[in-house]
Structure 1
Amino acid sequence: MLTERQKRILWAVIDDYIVSAEPVGSRTVSKKEGVGFSAATVRNEMADLEEMGYLEQPHTSAGRIPSQKGYRFYVDHLLTPQKWTPKDIMAIHQMFSQKIDHVEQAIQHTSNILSQLTNYMTICLGPRVFIDKLKHLQVVPLSDRSAVSIAVTDRGHVQQQRITIPENVSFSTIERLVNLLNDRLKGVPLSKLKTFVARELTSELKRHIDHYENTLELLDQILHIQSEERIYTSGTTKMLEQPEFQDVEKMKMLLDFLEEDDRIIQLLEPSTNGIQVRIGDEIHIEEVNHCSIITASYMIDGEPVGTIGVLGPTRMNYRKVISLIDILSQIFSKQLNSMYEGK
């Protein structure tokens, strides 16, 4: 457990290093407002912090820099919320004041704003399940008890899945069910399919479909359509402005990683756990283990449907980024819900 003096010194080292990107010496820390200890005292405490793994010394004659463990302690225990003035909040809201009619445009706009305000790279996971609409359904029998359900969206995405046919449901019944669904569900967003059926089609299905109760399980399988995710990025070139990415090999690894959508989607999976801060090795991706990523999910009807993320060096301005991503994810959720209700 760190003493209060060690906490104050660790905070001072990290706070200075975030700004300077240069190893921090004991004299610099001792002169920092709010520290109040002599250079000799600071030097001894910094040596102890290094021994405990919170600081590192890149060169024998240099000062110290934070370790991953140091950054984690800083984020978990030493950060104080950024205070925004009403003028700051108004300025952020004004960035969202332009009229936007399309979800894709809204996500890219949010990504651009966040990159502009943080000076880091932003990666957003778009709610394609919300954007995509159903175009056509088809069910192809494989045997008496199995079939393949095929769903085509208005954007040309095709999804096939194996489904089980319940007992007492004939294929002629399935054909009538699919025809009715195609007639009534064309143009409905994928996220609304089940809700639309429950609210609008239940009585109609009962009238036209034999053994309706037996088809409920089948209907649930047919409408279980997952949509292809879409990734939005902004500020990739801003990474080149960071001293850590003057290393060509590091930048190449990052750019290679950004070409792999599946891994990015895994990194940005929506969560109900609020703001997530992953530092270095905590990301579990070798190409970005020298980075930190801060993410927050945005919501539709209280459900997380996509993610806003900021990627930067471990020497990230955590206080500023966490506060900004919190504000922007809330603003964007409200904007998206407003657009969603209008569809």
Structure 2
Amino acid sequence: MLTERQNLILRLIIQDFTETGQPVGSKRLMEEGVQASSATIRNDMKVLEENGLIEKTHSSSGRVPSKKGYRYYIDHLLTPAKVNKQEVEQIRSSLKKDIHEIDDIISQSAKILSEVTSYTAFSLGPEMKDRTLTGFRIVPLNDRQILAIIVTDKGNVESQVFRIPENVASSDLEKMVKIINDRLVGQPLLTVYQKLRTEIPMILHRYFQTTDGIGRLFDIILNEAFEEKVFVSGRMNILNANPDDLSQFKSMYSLMQDSDELTKLLLPTDQEIHVRMGAELGDRMFDNLTMVQANYQIIGHGRGTIALLGPTSMPYSKIFGLLDVFRYELTAILDDYYRSLDLNH
């Protein structure tokens, strides 16, 4: 159990080190307002060191926080910094820029977060389980390519170009559109997903002599409606966290291209702001990194999440304050957007 003064010393060492990157000594702590002699402060630092919360560097008599120290600080000592009015206004106006659909708001939120912090930012929109498939069309582009357009009731429009398998004729595509519109449009996406695995394969066998090509195309196109898009901004910022480890950077960069893996990494938790450090993220590639994740709830539309990935020595107080404001502003903008959709229906 730490004393009140030891807690204060640990908090000041972490705050100072995350701002300056320099080891912190007893003299600096006295300047920061610790009411004790240099010898007493050094004794307290020794206790913190014995508890594994701070470490001595080779270059000076100062101390730096350990991973255990950061974790203790986050769990017991952290107070989010207040974000000034000007910054709040800047976040609010940036989030409203160039908005046409949900994806624009979600991707913009990652972009702004990354610009404000110089870290890698992630944004995952509200969960999709309550959405309904409201429209499906196929537009032929040429002999072998089509544009598939999928619309859901929450304002999401997915459109993607697909190559038609060799054994699929244009008459097959017409049948496919008819099946989707007859059997699946108007159904919740969860029901659509279940029918894709159970009822639809049997229907395809009834309609087509061979279902290989059409079944695969059918599956790929409709899975687009389910894909939970994770928007990533500032991928290159990960280099700043550990510039000398190129293999780590390659692994991280590859992960950031993998939507499934990112979705797993960012699944919303019950905590409003959640911090995972190093091994807690489940892979050695995250050893010197921390992810701070903030969740938000849109009533009637599910939960989403925004997150920052940066060095373990990030200024947590500032980041917590920023993410708290950010999720509040994002919730307000998404609420307004959904309300406008409901009014237009």
**Does the pair score TM above 0.5?**
yes
Cα distance in 2, alignment partners of residues 13 and 78 from structure 1: 12
Counterpart in the other structure of 1:13: 13
Deviations 1:222-275 (A, max 9, x none): xxx981121211122333344x43443443343243244333211100233211
Aligned letter for 1:68?
A: K
The answer to whether residue 289 in structure 2 is matched with residue 291 in structure 1 is yes
Cα distance in 1, alignment partners of residues 99 and 187 from structure 2: 21
Cα distance in 1, alignment partners of residues 244 and 188 from structure 2: 44
Cα distance in 1, alignment partners of residues 248 and 268 from structure 2: 27
Counterpart in the other structure of 1:219: none
> Pairwise mapping of residues 218-237 of structure 1 onto structure 2 (< 5 A)?
227-237=226-236
SS in 2 for 1:245: coil
Counterpart in the other structure of 2:333: 335
> Are residues 133 and 297 of structure 1, via their aligned partners in 2, closer, same or farther at CA, if it must alter by over 3 Å?
farther
Counterpart in the other structure of 1:186: 185
The answer to whether residue 55 in structure 2 is matched with residue 47 in structure 1 is no
CA RMSD of superposed structures (Å): 3.6
Cα distance in 2, alignment partners of residues 97 and 107 from structure 1: 11
Deviation at 1:124, TM superposition (A): 1.5
> Are residues 327 and 157 of structure 1, via their aligned partners in 2, closer, same or farther at CA, if it must alter by over 3 Å?
farther
Counterpart in the other structure of 2:322: 324
Uncovered stretches (5+) of structure 1, i.e. residues with no partner? 137-151, 159-178, 195-224
Counterpart in the other structure of 2:174: none
Counterpart in the other structure of 1:207: none
CA contact (8 A) 1:298 1:305 kept: yes
SS in 1 for 2:71: helix
> Pairwise mapping of residues 1-343 of structure 1 onto structure 2 (< 5 A)?
1-32=1-32, 34-59=33-58, 61=60, 63-127=62-126, 129=128, 133=133, 135=135, 153=150, 155=159, 182-183=181-182, 186=185, 190=189, 227-242=226-241, 244-302=242-300, 304-341=302-339, 342=341
> Are residues 97 and 103 of structure 1, via their aligned partners in 2, closer, same or farther at CA, if it must alter by over 3 Å?
closer
Aligned letter for 1:37?
A: A
CA contact (8 A) 2:296 2:327 kept: yes
Aligned letter for 2:65?
A: P
Cα distance in 2, alignment partners of residues 265 and 85 from structure 1: 32
Aligned letter for 1:339?
A: Y
CA contact (8 A) 2:18 2:314 kept: yes
CA contact (8 A) 1:121 1:239 kept: yes
SS in 1 for 2:226: coil
Aligned letter for 2:122?
A: I
How many pairs are equivalent? Answer: 280
CA contact (8 A) 2:128 2:302 kept: no
Aligned letter for 2:26?
A: S
> Are residues 235 and 37 of structure 1, via their aligned partners in 2, closer, same or farther at CA, if it must alter by over 3 Å?
farther
SS in 1 for 2:97: coil
> Are residues 41 and 253 of structure 1, via their aligned partners in 2, closer, same or farther at CA, if it must alter by over 3 Å?
farther
CA contact (8 A) 1:297 1:304 kept: no
Q: Which has the higher mean CA deviation after the structures are superposed, 12-21 or 116-125?
A: 116-125
Cα distance in 2, alignment partners of residues 333 and 192 from structure 1: 27
> Are residues 102 and 187 of structure 1, via their aligned partners in 2, closer, same or farther at CA, if it must alter by over 3 Å?
farther
> Are residues 101 and 260 of structure 1, via their aligned partners in 2, closer, same or farther at CA, if it must alter by over 3 Å?
closer
Aligned letter for 2:5?
A: R
> Are residues 104 and 51 of structure 1, via their aligned partners in 2, closer, same or farther at CA, if it must alter by over 3 Å?
same
SS in 1 for 2:121: strand
CA contact (8 A) 1:129 1:189 kept: no
Cα distance in 2, alignment partners of residues 79 and 306 from structure 1: 24
CA contact (8 A) 2:272 2:296 kept: no
**More relative contact order in 1 or in 2 (CA 8 Å, sep 6+)?**
2
CA contact (8 A) 2:23 2:60 kept: no
Deviations 1:186-225 (A, max 9, x none): 377748989xxxxxxxxxxxxxxxxxxxxxxxxxxxxxx9
Aligned letter for 1:19?
A: E
CA contact (8 A) 1:253 1:288 kept: no
Aligned letter for 1:294?
A: V
SS in 1 for 2:112: helix
SS in 1 for 2:123: strand
SS in 2 for 1:297: strand
Aligned letter for 1:121?
A: T
Cα distance in 2, alignment partners of residues 132 and 47 from structure 1: 60
Uncovered stretches (5+) of structure 2, i.e. residues with no partner? 137-148, 151-157, 163-177, 194-223
Cα distance in 2, alignment partners of residues 181 and 254 from structure 1: 38
Deviation at 1:71, TM superposition (A): 0.7
